[in-house]
Amino acid sequence: APFGLTSFLELDDHLRETSNHHSILSSFARGDVIEIQGGPASGKTHLLYHLVSVCILPTAYGGWNKAAILYDTDQGFDVRRLQQILITRVSTHMLRAHQEGVDTASIVSGAMRNLRVFPVESASQLSASLQELPAYHGEELTTSEIAILAIDSLSAFYWEDRFAMESTRPRYSWSTRAFIDPNDLTERARHPLHAILVAIQAMRLSHGPIIVLTNWGLQPAPGHSTSPTTPLYRQHLPF
């Protein structure tokens, strides 16, 4: 069954128009990969908070009643901020439905139990955690389906990844008078994002969650922008 709508009419319409599936019940298809791009303070994380809130809220209050997994690479997740968004959504739904006497705090507390936040400090730690996520789901979320798998943000390890990529470039050996290919010398030659993308794809195929990634928008992608005011960005490293 489809997960449902986001409750943002313009976003739902846009997603349905630009996707390959046509469902009035959901703006997402299982396994969709959504990348939220933009510069600093452009609202990427705020939009992510709203998507997570829709995912974990009960269906009676406009949510999907599903589990959400969020990898906090920026170390900036604010549980109180998400709690306030949940309170606002529940209160708005109650007002529209003319409901009274509902314990908002209890509903929000129950919704928060559907969320798991994992702080990570490196690309290798993120890839390892993603690889163990299916086992974690089977042990800790036995009665819940993961509908959203979010990484905020995929660009957090820019300098570490850049250093790792620089070390993979062929370097000149003055003793042998020849270029040395680091790929023959060290496992660091593998792209830092490679293991992350492999783990995401495996989770996507096995569990079918919606993958939501935020991207700092460090490097514009020339020739791929839809308009001058809304540039598209490529990842900070080639892959």
Average pLDDT of the residues in 97-119:
90
Element containing residue 150 per DSSP (H, E): strand 146-152
pLDDT of residue 203: 96
- The model's pLDDT over 158-203, given as tens digits with 9 standing for 90+, comes to 777 777 666 666 555 555 555 555 554 444 446 778 889 899 999 9
Closest CA relative to residue 152, chosen from 237, 36, 50? 36
On the CB side of 127, CA atoms within 13 Å amount to 13
pLDDT of residue 49: 95
Average pLDDT of the residues in 202-225:
82
Query: pLDDT grade, residue 100 (50/70/90)?
Result: confident
pLDDT of residue 171: 57
pLDDT of residue 185: 43
Cβ atoms of residues 52 and 89 within 8 Å:
no
48: tokens are 């992510």
Average pLDDT of the residues in 93-104:
81
- The model's pLDDT over 119-161, given as tens digits with 9 standing for 90+, comes to 999 998 999 999 999 999 999 999 999 999 999 988 888 777 7
Mean pLDDT of the chain: 83
- The model's pLDDT over 55-69, given as tens digits with 9 standing for 90+, comes to 999 999 989 999 999
pLDDT of residue 187: 44
pLDDT of residue 199: 94
Compute the distance between CA of residue 196 and CA of residue 202 in angstroms, rounded to an integer.
Answer: 10
pLDDT of residue 16: 82
Enumerate residues 6+ apart whose C-beta is below 8 A from 120: 71, 72, 73, 126, 129
